[in-house]
Structure 1
């Protein structure tokens, strides 16, 4: 039995097909089928009802799915348990939204490595909703994301790290315009609604009955700011106050009252509370506080 095969089994359950599970774990569909066959031969059971177009777990498959989640959770806790109280060791697979990657995370990781030189954090970027799915399937251990918005998996728990506020960003020279005028007359560069921040923005636009003229849909805050800076339209983005004050762009508080979002450390409930994740959360909080001073 291989741990990778068990992770593949979890991915099949989450994504609903061998092909999509293979994409999630970096395997071809045939490789996924071989791993499933190997598990069936090892345990001498049939894991899937293959008479259906979409494979469904048999009762034996459901039992192995539940037990494999427990095995993977225990394995993933080993690295953190090997460290002593004063000097942690181990590896953390971390996802992060782009605002954290370009903001507080580099400072936090530098401080973390200085305090605990034997740890390693492997970082990948993504949108909050995508990173949440990767946590559920075990592809990553934790992620720095926006606080989840419904619907989200009940398997997830989170630790608050810091707060961003939402701002309407316009090109320089528009400080004398109202938000409603800007949104109704200039092209709107929309934050992708697949991102949780994008859903928050869309809800507030509808609540205030603000009509916008979509010009672009982007998932990178950095790219959105560059587009606005080139005079291509206006946008609503979440930003730390200290970043907004340094922009040469025009900034207006967005929302009544101004919208905020919590940035959190997201984990699976059955794997939360590890020493590495706690140390990372503390380092991020300290970096965020230092950035506001």
Structure 2
């Protein structure tokens, strides 16, 4: 089995078509079909089910498919390690929570790109669970996520400490009044967001029933809906502070055990720490005093 065969497997699976995969790979369809059949002979089972509309992975094909991405990532890492002479350069794929991107990273990203112009830095936002999965599967070099993670394949470093606050429309002067609200909605990021899970737990502990959550992909949309009285949310104090000062929303303090959350940077334990990533972490880390103060 060769990596080239696994690349063909991935392309065919993604397109659901031998013909479209061949076009992407700059091959003729007959060669793609022959390579897939040869791969099936090597593993001793069918990898695709042929249909009138194209092809779909069999159960065996689905089990084999993740290895294409893993092997490709390992080969990419091997090339980068061989070329790593101590000068940060090349691609760097970082993941982050939306709140961290808005609150903590702008200055660091600006400083890093100025200092290391040969690095092609890309930033992906997502929920903690999706970002952890992307790091585990080597689609990201590392990510800023909410603690705790405690994954056997990952190492984590505390980078920032946040104070979470319950955010409501100005009309809700007392959080205890939320229990009197019929069809109370929570305004959150999609499932897998750690803040969403915390908010659901906090409300459950107070015996507050909620309606179906409203999911949004941006902070502005969430804060705007809360300000309009559509529902409530849970966000870091520093993120909601501008809208709070403007009187658009009201932020309520929570007990320390509910309010405090660490943002950690996770990366694979078995992945070489390149000069490019080392330099990024050096720039992104806050000073010890700022970390303790939660700034």
TM over 0.5: yes
Judged with a 3 Å threshold, the aligned counterparts in structure 2 of structure 1 residues 37 and 69 are, in CA distance, closer, same or farther, namely farther
Corresponding residue to 1:189 among 186, 190, 210:
186
Aligned to 1:73: 74
Judged with a 3 Å threshold, the aligned counterparts in structure 2 of structure 1 residues 80 and 254 are, in CA distance, closer, same or farther, namely farther
Task: Say how many residue pairs are matched.
Answer: 270
Mapping 1:45-124, distance limit 5 Å: 45-46=42-43, 48-50=45-47, 54-56=58-60, 65=67, 69=70, 72-79=73-80, 82-85=83-86, 87-124=87-124
Aligned to 1:277: 277
Contact 1:167-1:251 at 8 Å conserved across structures: yes
Aligned-residue RMSD, C-alpha: 4.1
Corresponding residue to 1:29 among 10, 16, 19:
16
Structure 2: distance between partners of 1:50 and 1:74: 23
Structure 2: distance between partners of 1:227 and 1:33: 43
Judged with a 3 Å threshold, the aligned counterparts in structure 2 of structure 1 residues 210 and 256 are, in CA distance, closer, same or farther, namely farther
Structure 2: tracts of 5 or more residues without a match: 23-31, 50-56
Contact 2:199-2:234 at 8 Å conserved across structures: yes
The higher radius of gyration belongs to 2
What is the SS of the residue equivalent to 1:270? coil
Judged with a 3 Å threshold, the aligned counterparts in structure 2 of structure 1 residues 188 and 4 are, in CA distance, closer, same or farther, namely farther
Kindly state the Cα deviation for residue 92 of structure 1 after the two structures are TM-superposed.
0.8
Kindly state the Cα deviation for residue 49 of structure 1 after the two structures are TM-superposed.
5.0
Kindly state the Cα deviation for residue 57 of structure 1 after the two structures are TM-superposed.
6.5
Judged with a 3 Å threshold, the aligned counterparts in structure 2 of structure 1 residues 48 and 100 are, in CA distance, closer, same or farther, namely farther
Mapping 1:199-214, distance limit 5 Å: 199-214=197-212
TM-score by length of 2: 0.71
Aligned to 1:15: none
Kindly state the Cα deviation for residue 263 of structure 1 after the two structures are TM-superposed.
1.6
